[in-house]
Amino acid sequence: MYTATSEMCMTSAQATGVRTQASRAERRSVARKGVHRARTVCKASAVPGESVVPTAQVAKPKRNRPIARVVPSSVASELTLAPTSAAERLKDSQVKRFEMEEGTLYVGMNNYCTSVKPGNGGLRVRSYDTAEEAESEAQALCDAMTLKHAAYNTGFTGAKLVFDSKVDVSTLNKNKLMKEVARTLASEAGCVYTGCDINTTEGDMEYLDSISPFVLAGIGSTVDTNKATADGTFAAVVRMAEKLKLPKDFKIFIQGCGKVGTFLAESLVKYGATVYTADVAEERANIKGCINMCHVEDFAALEVDIFSPNAIAGVVTVDVAKRLKAKAIVGAANVPFRSEEARTIAADRGIFFVPEYITSAGAIIVDSMEWCHDDWATLRPSVAYAFCYDMVYAKVGEYLDMCDEAAGDPSMSADWNDITVSVCEPSESVPVGSKLREWIGCATEHRDVVVIGAGMAGTAAAYQLSKLAPGTTGVVLEAGEKPAHRKGSSFGDSRMFRQMYSDPYFSELQSKSLGLWSELEAECGTKLLDVNGLLFYGAADTGETVEGSIPGALEVMEKRGLPHKFFEKGEDMKKAYSSMSPKEDHIGLLEETAGSINSSLACEEMMRMAEASGDWKLRTNARVLDVWQEEGSEKYHVLTSSGTIFVTDKLVCCAGAWTNNILGHLGVELDMEVWKVHWGHYKLKEGKQSPQWFHFGKDDGLFYGFPGKDGIAKVGVDFSPDKDRFASMEEYEADTDESLAQQIDGFVKEQWGETYAERVDMVTSPYTMTKDAMFVLDTVPEHPNVSVFSAGNGRAFKFGPMLGRALANLVMGDEPSFDIAPMTMRRDGLIKSQQKVPPIPATPIAAAAPAASTSAETKQDSFGRAHVPFGEVGAAQYSKLTVGCFDVVMNTKDLIDESVKALNLPADSTRNIRLADFGAADGGPEMPMVHYLKSLLPPGCDLEVCFEDQPNNDFTSLFYLALGIEESPVPFPPLSSDPGIFFSAIGRSFFDQCLPKNSVDISTSFTAVHWLSEYPTEIRGSVHQTLSTDAPANERFSAQASKDWDTYLKHRTTELRKGGQGVVAAFGVSPSGSYLGWNGEAGSANMYGELNGCWDEMLAAGQISATEHANATFCSYYRSEEEMRAGFTGERLGLRLKSLEWRPITCPFGRGLGSPAELVGTVRTWSNSTFESALDDVRAPEEKKALVDHLYEKYRLRIEAEPERHHMDYMHAYLHFEKC
C-alpha cells in the first residue's frame, strides 16, 4: 500500500466543505496589497509626490546594484518634491536632442527622473518625415511610459529614446549607433535606462549592454520581453472578453504580427478565440490557427468583438473611430489613437478602450523584476510570464471597475486618462517586481500526485488512486472546461467494449476491465455501459488491422471459450440483420455480450468519485505551460495557464495527443503521430434501428456504427489518410475532409442503405498513434516518479479502469495488476529523442530587501514552538500593534497598590526594590506600570526592573523604548528619564530560575504564562486547544499546562523574598466560557475559528500540506479557574493566593473601531510564529513568509467584509499571591 509523503497527505475530513483552490483573484490581490487609494476620480486626481535625489548620485552598474533603494528621510526632506497633480506630472517631461553621425537621437524623459527612480524606455529607430515628428513621438511615448510605470510602480518613471535615421534603417551602422547611445546614457548619470523597441534587436542590446550599465533588456536571461508584453496584453484581452461576457471563441482582429502580435495570436488560438491577423508583411500574418486578413483594405469594417492594434502608433484615426465595428480596443501598440478627437469619438460610440499604459506592461514588469532582483536571470521564464499575466489582469480589472464607477457617478470623471491615473500605484508602495516572491508563494499549491489530462486515463488514474491510496492528495489538470473536453479523444457518448480480439492479451484485459466497470457503476450509481452486442463483418483476408481481424478474433473467442456466433457468408448475416447489405463473401462474428460505453459521462463519473473521496480535485481551464525540477529536490513543479504552480512528488501524464508537449519539458519525445479521424451522425429511416457493427475491409476499409438514439446514429471510420496524419497537435487541423465524408456516405448507402438516411453532421477527433499500434503505459526513463499513458490508438477507452489501476500501481510503487511489458516506453524505436534537462536553481529569486526578524530566521530546535517575536528588530512592533495590552497591564493598578503596601516599607526607607517581569516581549505595555509602581515607593527607594523573555526576544526594542529612542503608541516618559529606575534584561525561559533566590520583591507577568514549555501534540482540525474536539490531545495539553504552571510558580517562589508579592494576568477560559477573541456574543466571530478557517482554505487549495496544517497548533493552553487555583492548593509550593478575579478588556481595534489591518496586526504579533514554524523547512524563508502573509490577508478580507463581527477582546484571570 502506498503511503503519502508526510508533508503532503490530506484527510477527507479536512478537505470536505472548504474551497478547492486559492482563486486567481486572491493571488492577483498581491498586485494591490497595501494600496489604499481614494475611489473618487477627477481631472486633478492627486498622486503622492516622490522625493528627487541629486543626479550626482549615479547608479552602479546593475550587476552590482544594491537591492534596497530607499531615500533616507533626512535627505528627502531637503529635496524638491514632484508636483502633486497627476495631470501635471504626466505632461512634465522634456526631450533632449543629440546630433549623431547618421541621424538625430531624441531622448524623452520625465523631469523627475533620478538615479534612484530612473526613466526607462526602449530605443526606437525609424526614419521620420520631419524632425518635429520624431521629437513629438519621443515626447508622446515618454509620457505614455510615465503612466505605464506609474500604473504598476515598477521603480521607474517615463523615458523614450527615438533615433531619426538619415540613412535607410537597413544600412544603419548599429554598432556605431550603440556607442553613441552609450555615451548619451552616461551623460545622464544613471537617470535613464533603455532597451529594445522598433528596429532594435536583442543583439543590439547585448552589444549596448557590454559598453553601458544602463540597459534593461533581459540580458543574460531566457525571459523574452516580447513574450512578457504579449502575455500581459493577452491577459488584458481575456479580462475585456470577460467584461463583455463574450464566448471563448470570440472574434479578435490583431493588427501587427511582429513578435508581440504573433505571441498574442498564438495564445488566443490556444485559448479558443477566433483570431484574424494582418501585417504590412503579409507572410507574417500566416500564423497557425489564424485567418490572414491582409487582403482586406478596410479593417474598420470587420465584424469582430475586439480590435487589437499591435503595430505603430496612431492607427485609429477619426475616420476609423467613426466606423470601427469592434466592441473594444485592447492592444499593445503605444498611443493607438491618432488624435484626442478620435479617442472621444470611439468613447461616444460606446467602444471600450483599455489604455496601452496598462495592457502592454509586460516588458516593464520584467524590467522591474530585473531591477529588484540581482539574481533574477535564473528565474524560470514561464513563471515570469505568468506573473506578468496576473499583474496586468488585476490592473485591467481595476481599471474596468473604475470605468463602471465613473459611468454611474456623475461627479466622477469618465476621461480615460483620469481613470488611468486613478489606478496608478502609490509611489511609496513597493515596486511591482518586488512582489514576485509573494506571488510565487500564493500561486504555489502542493499535492502528492498531479495528473495531467482529464480524459479516460487521467480520470481513471485519479479514481483508482482515491480507492487504493486514501489520504493521497491529488489534482487533475484539464485544459478544457470539463473532463473529456470536445477537442480530446475521450469526448463523446459512445465507445465500444468487446472481448473479440485477435490478440488474447487484449481480450483478457477487456474481461478484467469489465469487472472494474461494473464496480464503478455500482459505486457511482450511474449506468455507463449498454450491452448492445457487436457484429464484426467484412472480408476474411484483410490480415491483421489496427483492430485485428475476424478470423483472428474467432480463434481467440474459441480458445477462451467465450460465447459468440459465427456467420460464414453474407446471406447468413442478411437473414439476421435484414436492413444491412453485406457482400456475399463477407463473413461475420457476433459477440452478444459486447456493447458501448458513454465515454464523456464515464470520465465525469470517475472524476466525481475521486473528488468525493475528499483527497482529489479537478482544475479545468488549466493548460500545462511548463514542468521542471529544482536543484536538490526530486519534486516536480507544474505551471498552468490558470497561474498556479503545483509542486508534487508524483506526476502522471495522460495528455493524449498533447503527450509530447508535456514530456518535452523533461527532454523526452516519443515517436507518435496524431491522426485526424472522421465520424458523424446519420438519420435513421422510419422504423429502423441500427445494430452495433464494425466492418473490416482492405485499403482504408475500417468502418463502424453504433445503435441509434432519438432517430440518430453514429457512424465513423477507423483509418486516416496519410495527409491527415500529423506530428503534433500544433500541426493538427480539425476541419473535416469533404471527400472522406462522401466516402463514408457511399459506404453507408451501399451496405446500410435500408437503415440510414441522410448525414446530419461530420466531425473529427485526434487519435494518438504509434507505429506498432500499441499503447504506452510506463514510467519515464530517468524520471521514475513520472508515469505516462498515451497512444490509445483509438481503442483504449474500453480498458479505462484497468489502465487507471495500472497507473495508480506505478504511482504507489507497486507491481501493476496486469502485465504492462508490451506497453513499455522502452520498446525499440518508441523514444524518438531524449536529452537530460538540468534542474533549475532551487531559489531563483533572492529577497528584494533584508527580511524582517521573524520565526523563519529562528532555529526551531532551540526555541521549539514557543512564541517568537514578529517584526523588524528595534521597531517596537509588539507595542505598536498591541495597544490593548497597555490596558491589560494598567488594569492591575489595584493589585500593584496592594503589593507595594504588603511590602511594609517605611516612609524613609532607602531599600532598593527589585521588580521582575516575566514574558516581557518589548516591555512597552509594562513601562507605564513601572512608572506607577515607582511613584508608590518611598522617595529614597530605587527601583530595579528585570525584564525576562526568551534569548531570541526583541530586547533591542525594549531598550529603545526604555531609553526613549523608539516612541510608544501610548505616551509615557522613558524609564531612563527617572534617575531612580534601573533596568536590565534576562534572556532565559521563565520555566527556569532566572534570578537569585530570595532577591525579588514583586514578580509580575502579563499575557505570557499560557505559553507551554513543550509541544504536547498536534491537534488535527484545530489551530487552538479551545476549539479542539480531540479528547486525547486535550488531555495531553491539560497535563502539560498543569506541569508548567507548577514549574513557573515553583521558580517564582525561589526568587521571591519572604513576603514578596506576585501579580499575574493570565489568559484563560472564564467560568462563563469567554477567552481571548471569544465572548459568546450572538453573531460574534471566534478569532481562532476564523484563523482556523483561513488555514483550512489554504490546505484545500494545496498551498500547505496536511502535515503543515496540523503543525499549526498553538503551543499554549488557556487554563480554567480551577486549574489556576490548583497551583496554590494547600500552599504546597510556598505561595498563598490572595485573590483571583476575571477581568475583560475590550479590543481597541474590534467591531470596526480600528481598521481590519490594525486588528490583523495585533493578532499577528503573537500568532505569526505558530503558523510560520508550522511550514516545512524545505521551504525557503521567503516562501514561508509569503504563505503566512497570505493567511493574514485572507483574515483581513474576512474582517473587511463584516467588521462588526470581529474582535480580539481580552479575558484574563488576574491573580495576586505572596510568598509564605
pLDDT over 90 for what percent of the chain? 73
Of 557 and 18, the one with more pLDDT: 557
Decide if pLDDT at 157 tops 50. Answer: yes
pLDDT score of 881: 87
Q: What is each CA distance from 473 to 466, 536, 807, in whole angstroms?
A: 8, 43, 15
Banded pLDDT at 415 (limits 50, 70, 90): low
**Length, in residues, of the chain:** 1220
- Yes or no: say if 567 and 576 are a contact pair by the CB < 8 Å rule: yes
Instruction: Say which residues have a Cβ less than 8 Å from residue 745's Cβ, sequence separation at least 6.
Output: 759
pLDDT score of 634: 92
pLDDT score of 570: 94
Decide if pLDDT at 549 tops 90. Answer: yes
Chain segment 745-758, per-residue pLDDT in tens:
999 999 999 999 99
Chain segment 1156-1185, per-residue pLDDT in tens:
999 999 999 899 989 998 998 888 888 888
**Across 32-41, 169-178, 1122-1131, which has the greatest mean pLDDT?**
169-178
Alpha-carbon distance of 1192 to 1198, in angstroms, equals 10
pLDDT over 70 for what percent of the chain? 89
Banded pLDDT at 907 (limits 50, 70, 90): very high
Give the max Cα distance, the chain.
Answer: 131
Chain segment 256-268, per-residue pLDDT in tens:
999 999 999 999 9
pLDDT score of 45: 27
Decide if pLDDT at 323 tops 60. Answer: yes
pLDDT score of 31: 39
- Yes or no: say if 645 and 440 are a contact pair by the CB < 8 Å rule: yes
Helix (H) / strand (E) element for 1046: namely helix 1031-1055
Instruction: Say which residues have a Cβ less than 8 Å from residue 88's Cβ, sequence separation at least 6.
Output: none
Mean of pLDDT values over 1124-1146: 92
pLDDT score of 374: 74
Looking up cell 534569548, which residue turns up? 951
Chain segment 1177-1196, per-residue pLDDT in tens:
888 888 888 999 999 999 99
pLDDT score of 54: 23
Q: Which three cell numbers stand for residue 1070?
A: 472564564
Chain segment 615-632, per-residue pLDDT in tens:
999 999 999 999 999 888
Answer positive or negative: Cα dihedral of 287, 289, 294, 300.
Answer: negative
Chain segment 688-733, per-residue pLDDT in tens:
999 999 999 987 789 999 999 999 999 999 999 999 999 999 899 9
Q: Which three cell numbers stand for residue 1215?
A: 491573580
pLDDT score of 412: 55
Mean of pLDDT values over 295-314: 92
Alpha-carbon distance of 814 to 3, in angstroms, equals 11
Write down the mean pLDDT value for the chain: 87
Banded pLDDT at 416 (limits 50, 70, 90): low
pLDDT score of 422: 83
Banded pLDDT at 1030 (limits 50, 70, 90): confident
Decide if pLDDT at 35 tops 60. Answer: no
- Yes or no: say if 1206 and 1087 are a contact pair by the CB < 8 Å rule: yes
Task: For the chain, give percent helix, strand, coil, nearest 5.
Answer: 40, 20, 40
The DSSP result for 61-91, as a single string, is PGGG--S-----HHHHTTSPBPPSBHHHHHH
pLDDT score of 577: 94
Chain segment 771-830, per-residue pLDDT in tens:
999 999 999 999 999 999 999 999 999 999 999 999 999 999 999 989 999 999 999 999
Banded pLDDT at 919 (limits 50, 70, 90): very high
Alpha-carbon distance of 205 to 1065, in angstroms, equals 66
Chain segment 933-970, per-residue pLDDT in tens:
999 999 999 999 999 998 888 999 999 999 999 988 88
Chain segment 1066-1118, per-residue pLDDT in tens:
999 999 999 999 988 888 999 999 999 999 999 888 899 888 888 899 999 99
Q: Which of 383-397, 670-684, 799-813, 1011-1025 has the lowest mean pLDDT?
A: 1011-1025
Decide if pLDDT at 63 tops 60. Answer: no
Banded pLDDT at 417 (limits 50, 70, 90): low
pLDDT score of 740: 95
Q: Which of 940, 108, 905, 818 is nearest to 507 (CA)?
A: 818
pLDDT score of 836: 78
Q: Which three cell numbers stand for residue 597?
A: 460505453
Decide if pLDDT at 874 tops 90. Answer: no
pLDDT score of 217: 81
Looking up cell 552602479, which residue turns up? 60
pLDDT score of 869: 63
Alpha-carbon distance of 876 to 867, in angstroms, equals 16
Q: Which of 969, 912, 921, 966 is nearest to 947 (CA)?
A: 921
Q: For residue 178, give the amino acid letter.
A: M
Alpha-carbon distance of 1051 to 998, in angstroms, equals 11
Instruction: Say which residues have a Cβ less than 8 Å from residue 29's Cβ, sequence separation at least 6.
Output: 394, 1193
Alpha-carbon distance of 313 to 337, in angstroms, equals 7
Q: For residue 625, give the amino acid letter.
A: L
CA atoms within 13 A on the CB side of 796: 29
Decide if pLDDT at 34 tops 60. Answer: no
Number of CB atoms found within 10 A of residue 697's CB: 18
